[in-house]
Structure 1
């Protein structure tokens, strides 16, 4: 009888483990879908300890140069209660994570341990201030711990 009870709980345990959230979320917005061509909007569920990174791809036409040596970002954080603050970040483009003749991919660590005033749905509006023509889009990497 005890064996039958244990076997009945195995499907329930399997179902509960499937309901756990993903270890990371990595949305990417293409340049064509950015607001005004230079502002990327993300909705994030920040309900615990997590880290935040950014990633992008730069492409060039044959024989053309890659863009400037950095990305200048204005990042507006909007809380679940609609308060906001602005952060300014300059990211170096000197070390791509991957590179081909026509494209370079970049991954940047932004915040190792996100500390927020309130948990819930946060919005990030990231404006690429120097907006190089070769940028194909911008993404974030939200890793839950």
Structure 2
């Protein structure tokens, strides 16, 4: 998927899961960084694209961050996990506990990049019971 699809999807996920207040503004940059972190790691390690996209690695982040006393970094961890899950929806797929998981989306097709975004909109709506979008549409 394109970087913007990962960014928007992750932001919608964290928006749905976290209580948003003025103090939670720190979640936005953490989410944006986490949304591209799996690709950044591969670039820094000169690894082939998606060669390190193993879901098990990223699922270990939340408990490690909480145990280390950094629960505010959960936005980063959730965004990284979301990146791998969104990439699992592509034809190339990712590894999930050592097995390749893939779906039908093509990363270079614009409509296919909107599929995860729309799924995240639906997820945010369902998780919030519609209240998240009421707040977005009608700020107090």
TM-score, with structure 1 as normaliser: 0.27
Query: Which protein has the bigger helix share?
Result: 2
Q: Which has the higher strand share?
A: 1
- Rg comparison, structure with higher value: 1
If asked which structure has higher relative contact order (CA below 8 Å, sep 6+), I would say 1
The TM-score with structure 2 as length reference comes to 0.28
